[in-house]
Amino acid sequence: MIVELGHYTLVLALGLALVQSVVPIIGARIGHFGLMRLANQTSIMMALLISFSFGALTWAYVNSDFSVVNVWQNSHSLQPYLYKYSSVWGNHEGSLLLWVLFLAIFASLVSVFGKNLPPELKANVLSVQAWILVAFLLFILITSNPFERLANPPLEGNDLNPILQDVGLAIHPPLLYFGYVGLSVTFAFATAALISGRLDAAWARWVRPWTLIAWVFLTAGIAMGSYWAYYELGWGGWWFWDPVENASFMPWLAATALLHSALVMEKREALKIWTVLLAIVAFSMSLLGTFLVRSGVLTSVHAFATDPERGVFILAILVLFIGGSLALFALRAGVLKSGGLFAPISREGALVFNNLFLTSALATVLVGTLYPLLLEAVNGSKISVGAPFFNLTFGPLMMPLLLAVPFGPLLAWKRGDLLAALSRLYLAAGAALLAVIITLAFTTDAPVLAALVIGLAFWVMVGAFAEISVRTDIRKNGIAKAFARAFGLPGSLWGTAFAHFGLGVTLLGIVSVSVFETEVIQEMKIGDKATISGYQLTLKNISPRKASNYNEDIINFEVLAPGGEKFVMQPAKRIYTTRRMPTTESAINTSGFSQLYVSLGEISENNSLTVRMWWKPQVTLIWLGSLFMIFGGLLSLADRRLRVGAPKRAARASKVESEVTING
Amino acid sequence: MTRKQKRLAGIGFIALVLAVAVGLVLVALRDEIVFFYSPTEIIQEQKAKSGQRFRLGGLVKSASVKKEGTTNSFVITDTNSEIEVSYTGILPDLFREGQGVVAEGVLNSSSVFIADSVLAKHDETYMPKEVADSLKKQGYWQQNPDEDSKSK
């Protein structure tokens, strides 16, 4: 019954979405406030209805109701409770329901927090969001209904794919989806601005926090997914340039660019048209990601079901929204007036530089991801585009950008002074130089390029705090006063510093692990020893263990660290009983920022097995850096100038401003 | 510089960056992509020279898997032709005889495929798409004959 109610509320939500996609926008056209206000109620109602629907599906999973096809296919009564919950989105239908739920939540957030928005803008935004909702609700109800029933319910379910039964993967999709869908808000704002032809600083004030929220979640989702792939797949890699990874990385690149260009628009009223275009591109990348992952055109863990009908449907949504918004852009972009002249060397110039390189990099990733699909469609040849392609294209484009990162915040708006900025970066330059020299002196076989990139990482890390050090000026003010000043600095300034610092940290981790990693593959029996980077591993014994939905053989290693301390590592071979599917659980030991990683092959009859060991120096910095980026994003969000009340003041300010210009 | 010259310099710089990006992509698309072939395409049609990097896909031939120390050897077949593969490392959990597999590496002078990565399917009902397609081409894939005849 609850399941049917969930289905019913989803249909009801579609009805409301249809109303909301037409009525408020007409209201905005004819200036009828009643019609415009309707969206406030419908968007909140929709969020509640879809929440109920999602709750109903979750209920079916938690209670192992195998009369529901979706539950039967992806769950098992003996699964731990965490995975009963995560199974809800560990499959095609459920994950789309989660997508739509977030979409509805974002729409309702706009209507709740948007009390101060100009009513026409708000009505248009909510209508555009309803268009997206209609498309995806139709998609779910027509091709991917999670509430379908089985006539003769089986007693037991098919279990969730074992490699998805992991804490990392339980939280990775919701984080990523929240980021993906968060970009729909910016998209709706951009489309609404194009429809009404009005775009002011208040608009940018609204767009930036929403982009920031989406960006924070995207960053978290991607980092989580990367760490999951690292420890769960047992290949020891943290990024494979797999199309599915690219699908999440492209919206991130676009959102990062948008974050920076919205800054220019908010502060200087420049780059308006470009910002609108980026907002469209960012959400288009989200849609493209959803298409690539959900349509089954790609071979991956994420391609749950290859159903041509679904692929065509998503493709239609993709073409409709991307094509439609770009056409609207082409028609209406001319209406938006751009202002705010600036010199090439200025804060604006630096942010344009950032956008230029980020979008070029985005374009190369896009080409690398889509080229195999295109080539196969054209002449049938099958190719794969992997790490070598992206190292040659994406890598070189990132270097000038990273070099420029510390300069950006030090340049003044309108007209900046490059030499003055450089003179404030002497500490960063010194740190970078020192890092290069130390790397070259203390490593024997490190390539010069690696040493340079390590220098670049320190340049970015130390340079990130240059603006704060200039503003507080410890030498002139003394420690106490400098501290007081530091606390008084706006949150967004600290946010920038931490996010840029995190970028440097991630870069340091990437170079370090790519260049200095060591690897040993060895066939081992009980009692055998292996040595890697000063660690000595002894295979002690193999102990079997039974868990609720799998059996495993735990391989016990005793490890002697170079410092003399001893610890145990326990990688395991598992067999999930329902699907008879084997998986390998690797073992990881962290010391400092580095990790010792042990993965296993199959156990042969004479109890010998292939053991693959890696020493991964500073590998955790890769994800630690992303935590700094997230922290930076949150600090920026907490900035009082960006708080919910703030847009009101901004709106008033811009009104005053425009009055002044009229009077002047 | 006048405003016009400044603007031209700006546009010139943007054009330069874009040109570099395009150049990099073109070079990378020529040199850094990896083609996928079936054993038939290698043996009968000689699509790849020895030393050239490619992906080889097909089924793992029954009773062909041998292990010597950390080196695994097996035969990839598309039921028409077959190629011996040698791989040092850990085979994926779902690597099985008679099942689909994709290996990436180079063919050595004695026609053994030296793989540096081996991919198997992600779950027990799933066959790598490339393998399924190439088996269809050999007329072996019988799971869905209607679809097969339609696609031809």
pLDDT, tens digit (0-9, with 9 covering 90-100), for A78-103: 888 889 999 998 888 899 999 999 99
Residues A155, A31, single domain; the answer is yes
pLDDT surpasses 80 at A154: yes
Instruction: Find the closest chain A residue to B38 by CA distance.
Output: A382
Same domain, B19 and B55: no
Tally of domains within chain A: 3
Same domain membership, residue B19 and residue B50: no
- In-domain check, residue B150: no
B7 reaches A (C-beta below 8 A) = no
How many domains does chain B divide into? Answer: 2
How many CB atoms lie under 10 A from the CB of residue A533? 17
Q: How confident is the model at residue A334 (pLDDT cuts 50, 70, 90)?
A: confident
Query: Quick one: pLDDT at residue A396?
Result: 93
In a domain? residue A48: yes
Contact B33 A371 (CB under 8 A): yes
Whether residue A462 is contained in a domain is answered as no
In this complex, do A383 and B34 lie within 8 Å of one another by their Cβ atoms? yes
Is A383's CB within 8 Å of B36's CB? yes
Q: Compare CB distances from B34 to A299, A357, A386 and report the shortest one's residue.
A: A386
Contact flag A364-B14 (C-beta cutoff 8 Å): no
Per CB-CB distance under 8 Å, the chain A contacts of B90 are 234, 521, 584, 599-601, 610, 612
Which residues of B fall within a CB distance of 8 Å from A348? none
Q: Give the number of other CB atoms < 10 A from CB of residue A199.
A: 25
> What are the φ and ψ backbone dihedral angles of A90, each rounded to 5 degrees?
-85, 25
Q: How far apart are CA A466 and CA A421, in angstroms?
A: 9
> Cβ of B26 under 8 Å from any chain A Cβ?
no
C-alpha A283/C-alpha A518 separation (Å) is 40
Residue A661's closest CA among A200, A278, A244?
A: A200
Q: Is B131 within the bounds of a domain?
A: yes
B124 touches chain A (CB under 8 A): yes
What's the pLDDT tens digit per position in A366-424?
999 999 888 888 887 888 888 899 999 999 999 999 999 999 899 988 888 888 888 88
Q: Is residue A68 part of a domain?
A: yes
Nearest C-alpha in A relative to B147: A308
Sole residue written with tokens 């579609």: A14
Asked if A292 and A299 touch (Cβ cutoff 8 Å), the reply is: no
User: Does A172 lie in the same domain as A130?
Assistant: no
Instruction: Say if the Cβ atoms of A583 and B93 lie within 8 Å.
Output: yes
How many Å lie between the alpha carbon of A242 and the closest alpha carbon of chain B? 13
Specify whether A158 is located in the same domain as A189. Answer: no
Question: Last residue of a domain, which of A398, A414, A430?
Answer: A414
Of A391, A414, A437, which residue constitutes the final position of a domain? Answer: A414
Are A184 and A114 in a shared domain? no
- The maximal CA–CA distance of chain A, rounded, in angstroms, is 91
How far is the C-alpha of A632 from the C-alpha of A494, rounded, in Å?
7
pLDDT at site A298: 63
φ, ψ of residue A39 to 5 degrees: the values are: -60, -30
Residues A157 and A287 in one domain: no
Residue among B9, B17, B67 minimizing CB distance to A356:
B17
Kindly state whether residues A197 and A220 are assigned to the same domain. Answer: yes
Of A163, A367, A583, the CB nearest to B25: A367
Range of the domain at B74: 35-144
Contact at CB, A604 and B123, closer than 8 angstroms: no
Q: B103 with B56: CB under 8 angstroms?
A: yes
Q: Do B122 and A579 touch (CB under 8 A)?
A: no
B63/B97 same-domain check = yes
Which of B34, B69, B94 faces A384 most closely, judged by CB atoms?
A: B34
| Contact residues, chain B, for A293 at CB < 8 Å | none
Residues 6+ positions from A357 with CB-CB distance below 8 Å: A397, A398, A400, A401, B17
Is B84's Cβ below 8 Å from some Cβ in A? no
Cβ count near A318 (within 10 Å): 18
Predicted local distance difference test score (pLDDT) of residue A520: 93
Residue A131 has pLDDT above 70, yes or no: yes
Q: Is residue A34 located within the same domain as residue A51?
A: yes
Q: What is the mean pLDDT of residues A289-300?
A: 71
Nearest CA to CA, how far is B4 from chain A (Å)? 12
**B93 with A301: Cβ contact below 8 A:** no
Are B73 and B12 members of one domain? no
Question: Which of A392, A550, A608, A609 has the highest number of chain B CBs within 10 A, making it the mutation to test binding with B?
Answer: A392
CA distance B17 to chain A (A): 8
Q: What pLDDT was estimated at residue A17?
A: 96
Residue of A208, A218, A216 whose CA lies nearest to A248:
A218
- What is the C-alpha separation between A603 and A98, in angstroms, rounded? 40
* pLDDT < 50 regions, chain B: 123-126, 142-152
B69 within 8 A of B75, measured Cβ to Cβ: no
**Does B39 reside within a domain?**
yes
Residue % of chain A over a pLDDT of 70: 94
Q: How far is A293 from chain B (nearest CA, A)?
A: 14
Q: What is the pLDDT of residue A470?
A: 85
Average pLDDT over residues A571-580: 88
In this model, does residue A455 exceed pLDDT 90? yes
Q: Specify whether B29 is located in the same domain as B41.
A: no
pLDDT digits (tens, 9 = 90+) for A602-661: 888 788 899 999 999 999 999 999 999 999 999 999 886 655 444 444 444 444 333 333
User: How far is residue B48 CA from its own chain's centroid?
Assistant: 12
Residue B96 sits in a domain of what CATH number?
A: 2.40.50.140
Q: How far is B42 from chain A (nearest CA, A)?
A: 14
Query: pLDDT at position B31, please?
Result: 86
B15 in contact with chain A, both atoms CB, cutoff 8 A: no
Angstrom distance (rounded) from CA A470 to CA A538: 53
The whole-number pLDDT of residue A648 equals: 44
Mutating which of B6, B33, B95 best tests the A interface, going by the most A Cβ atoms within 10 A? B33
Specify whether B50 is located in the same domain as B107: yes
Which of A165, A195, A218 represents a domain boundary (last residue)? Answer: A165
Residue A271 belongs to domain spanning: 166-414
Q: What pLDDT does residue A73 have?
A: 87
Distances (CA, A) of A522 to A232, A606, B72, B88: 20, 16, 13, 10
The answer on B65 and B13 residing in a single domain is no
Claim to verify: residue A58 and residue A154 sit in the same structural domain: yes
Over range A277-284, report the average pLDDT: 95
pLDDT of A485:
84
* Residue with token string 């027990």: B124
Asked if residue A429 is part of any domain, the answer here is: no
- Rounded to whole angstroms, the Cα distance separating A588 from A597 reads 5
ipTM of the complex: 0.82
Q: pLDDT value at position A162?
A: 81
Question: Average pLDDT over chain A, rounded to whole?
Answer: 88
Q: Are A381 and B35 in contact (CB under 8 A)?
A: yes
Residues paired with residue A600 on neighbouring β-strands, in sequence order: A611
Which among A161, A360, A583 is the nearest to B21, CB-wise?
A360
Query: Using a CB-CB distance cutoff of 8 angstroms, which residues of chain A are in contact with residue B13?
Result: 344
Q: Are residues A268 and A182 in the same domain?
A: yes
- Is A579 in contact with B133 (Cβ distance < 8 A)? no
- Do A91 and A231 reside in the same domain of the chain? no
User: What is the model's pLDDT at position A647?
Assistant: 44
Name chain B contacts of A363, Cβ cutoff 8 Å. Answer: 21
Q: What is the pLDDT of residue A294?
A: 74
- B126 and B89 housed in the same domain: yes
Pick the range with the lowest mean pLDDT from A334-343, A354-363, A636-645, B15-24. A636-645
Contact A357 B133 (CB under 8 A): no
Distances in whole angstroms, Cα of residue A353 to Cα of each of A54, A398, A413: 43, 12, 14
- What pLDDT sits at residue A297? 66
Any A CB within 8 A of B66 CB: no
Residue A463 lies in a domain: no
Average pLDDT over residues A460-480: 87
- DSSP one-letter code for A118: -
Residues B41 and B29 in one domain: no
B70/A contact by beta carbon, under 8 A: yes
* A155 in any annotated domain: yes
Q: Is residue A38 domain-shared with residue A144, that is, in the same domain?
A: yes
Residue A161 within a domain = yes
Does B24 fall in a domain?
yes
What's the rounded mean pLDDT across residues A540-562?
92
Same domain? B53 vs B89: yes
What tokens does A461 get?
């890390």
- pLDDT of A75 > 80? The answer is yes
Answer yes or no: do B139 and B89 share one domain.
yes
B9:A396 CB<8 A: no
Q: Closest partner residue to B21 among A363, A381, A602, by Cβ?
A: A363
My answer on whether B89 and B113 are in the same domain is yes
CB contact under 8 A, A392 and B29: no
* Contact (CB<8Å) B124/A357: no
Write out pLDDT tens, residues A423-452: 889 999 999 999 999 988 888 777 888 999
- Confirm whether A492 is domain-assigned: no
Note whether A374 and A259 are same-domain residues. yes
pLDDT higher for A243 or A452?
A: A452
Residue B149 lies in a domain: no
Nearest CA in chain A to B125: A579
Contact residues on chain B for A401, CB-CB shorter than 8 A? none
Quote the CA–CA distance of A345 and B1 in Å, as a whole number: 13
Put simply, the answer to whether B17 touches A360 (Cβ < 8 Å) is yes
Mean pLDDT of A174-190: 94
